[in-house]
Chains A and B, each alone.
Chain A
């Protein structure tokens, strides 16, 4: 039982490059989330998927797209990376709403 896994762990991009961050959970959870953590800003919600087949914007969705590929997988795409997207990205899942979230180990992304 791996919980929530994220790939890659580290990534360096040049401005304008694109990439997809992968997230998978093996707990049969319905809801999945993407956050970014910046110094002094806490965790900010980028996008979430309440259930398979649905996605919604969070607090800071600009510059990102998401895909809920199936119940297990929720990916985050940066189409044209910008230095402002340098951050640590966390994926999380929860069984339903009003429940604790389980977080992955994070992806540290640097955009030059």
Chain B
């Protein structure tokens, strides 16, 4: 039973355009959501998070949107850069347990 789903295994975007990565969750008890970025042979690094009391959070080129009624969140990267090419994981938590999605591999084409 996958509580956090990233249905797109991969995404290719032209440099300078917007990248939109999506994540769905099923557990209504989740109230804090995070996005991580992972390069090969490295540990994931934190990008941005959002609490369930908000519907949007911005940090520079990264914006996370949360739609609680649809149990859906998305990460927007504008403008996309070649250095953004990595695997992106969304995660959700309602306690100390963090549940991760399966990841989306983003490739930004120069």
Contacts and interface: CB of A to CB of B under 8 A. Distances in A.
Interface of A: 4, 31, 33, 35, 40-45, 48, 50, 56, 58-59, 90, 92, 97-98, 100-106
A56 B96 contact: yes
Contact of B43 (A4, A44, A48, A50): A4
Contacts of A35: 100
Contact of B99 (A45, A50, A56, A97): A45
A39 B16 CA distance: 29
Nearest to A59: B99
A101 B98 CA distance: 9
Interface of B: 6, 9, 32, 34, 36, 41-46, 49, 51, 89, 91, 93, 95-103
A42 B43 CA distance: 12
Contacts of A45: 97-100
Interface hub of B89, B93, B98 (most chain A Cβ within 10 A): B98
B46 A102 contact: yes
Contact of B46 (A56, A101, A105): A101
Contacts of A31: 96
Given A44-B100, A59-B99, A98 B93 contact: yes
